Amino acid sequence: MSRAKFGVLVIVCAALCAASVLPLVSPAARAQTSLANDPKLVEDLVYANRILYQQAVLDGFGHVSARSDKDPSHFLMSRSMAPGLVTSNDIMEFDKDGEPVDARGRNAYTERYIHAAIYRVRPDVKAVVHSHSPDIIPFSVTGTILRPLYHVSAFLRLGAPIFDTQEGFGDTDMLIRDNKLGDALAKALGNSGIALIRGHGFVAVADSTPIVVYRAIYTQTNARVQAEGMRLGTIKYLTPGEAVKAQAIVEATVGRPWELWKSQVGKIE
C-alpha cells in the first residue's frame, strides 16, 4: 500500500473511530464542548504543535499551550502525546493550578506546571512553548548566555536566564513536575521572552500563539548562529537601542512566516 493510500486509510479510520467513540462521550463532555474557546484559538494551537515539530523545535517531546479566552486564568494544551500528531480533538483545558478541567481519561503532560506557573504571574503572556532543542542544550549546560545577533532574534534583548533545578531543589528528575518547581522557573523567567533550563531545554513566552512559535524558532536559529560566531571571532551584538526597535518591527510582521509555516504543515484536523 502506498503512503498516500495509507494516509487516506488513516483519515477514514480516524473518522470511523471518532464515530465509534461518540457514544462513549458523557453529557458532561458535551457540556464542556459547548464551553469551548474561540475555534481560531484551538486551530492556531494545533498548527503551533505541528509547525514546531516540522521546524524541529519539538520532537517526540515538548509542548505548547495558549491562554483561554473564555477564562483567562485557564489555558489550553494537548493531552500527553507527540506534538507532531496533535489534532483539535486532543486539546484539553487546564485550570490555574495546571489541573485538567475535564480529563475524561486523557493523560496530561507531567510538566503542565511550567505553563500554569507562567500564566499565573505573567498576565501579558498568552502562549507558552517548552522545548528540548538540541541547539539550546549546549548553552544551558555551559552557562553561555544567548544574546541577539540579528534583527529577527531581537526579542532576546528581554533576557535569556538559565534556570537550574539543582539550585533550590537538589537532585530531581529534571522535570518541572509541580507548582513549586513551576513557580521557581517562572520567577527565573521574570519578564524575559525565554528562559533556558539547565540540562533540559527552554521555554518561550509571548502574547500570541504565532509570536511564541516565532520566538521558539528564532531562539534556536540564534543559538546556532551565536555558537558559530563565537568560533569566528568577537561578536558585535545588537545594541540595546537597535534591539528595541528591531523587535517591534519584526514581530509586527509575524503573519508572513506564520502563513508559510501553516502551508508547510498542510491541512489539520
Catalytic center residues: 111
**From 100, 150, 178, 187, residue interacting with a copy of itself (rule: CB under 8 A):** 150
Span from 40-48, 80-88, 119-127, 181-189 in contact with a copy of itself (CB under 8 A) = 80-88
**From 13, 29, 56, 103, residue interacting with a copy of itself (rule: CB under 8 A):** 13
Residue spans of alpha helices (H) in 55-135: 112-121
| Residue number with CB closer to a copy of itself (205 or 213) | 213
CB of 86 to a copy of itself, least distance (A): 10
CB of 37 to a copy of itself, least distance (A): 22
Contact call for residue 108 and a copy of itself (CB under 8 A): no
Rounded CA separation 122/211 (Å): 16
Residue 58's nearest CA partner among 166, 159, 204 is 204
Report strand pairing: 91-94 vs 127-131: unpaired
Cβ atoms of 29 and 102 within 8 Å: the answer is yes
| Residue number with CB closer to a copy of itself (117 or 217) | 217
Rounded CA separation 206/192 (Å): 9
Q: 201: exposed, middle or buried (C-beta count within 10 Å: 0-12, 13-18, 19+)?
A: buried
**From 26, 33, 73, 253, residue interacting with a copy of itself (rule: CB under 8 A):** 253
| Residue number with CB closer to a copy of itself (96 or 151) | 151
Those residues whose C-beta lies under 8 Å from the C-beta of residue 120, and which sit 6 or more positions away, are: 96, 183, 186
| Residue number with CB closer to a copy of itself (32 or 89) | 89
How many residues in the shown chain lie near a copy of itself by CB under 8 A?
79
Considering only residues 180 to 209 of the shown chain, the ones binding a copy of itself according to CB under 8 A are 198-201
Considering only residues 223 to 252 of the shown chain, the ones binding a copy of itself according to CB under 8 A are 224-225, 227-239, 241-242, 245-246, 248-249
Contact call for residue 221 and a copy of itself (CB under 8 A): yes
Those residues whose C-beta lies under 8 Å from the C-beta of residue 70, and which sit 6 or more positions away, are: 35, 36, 37
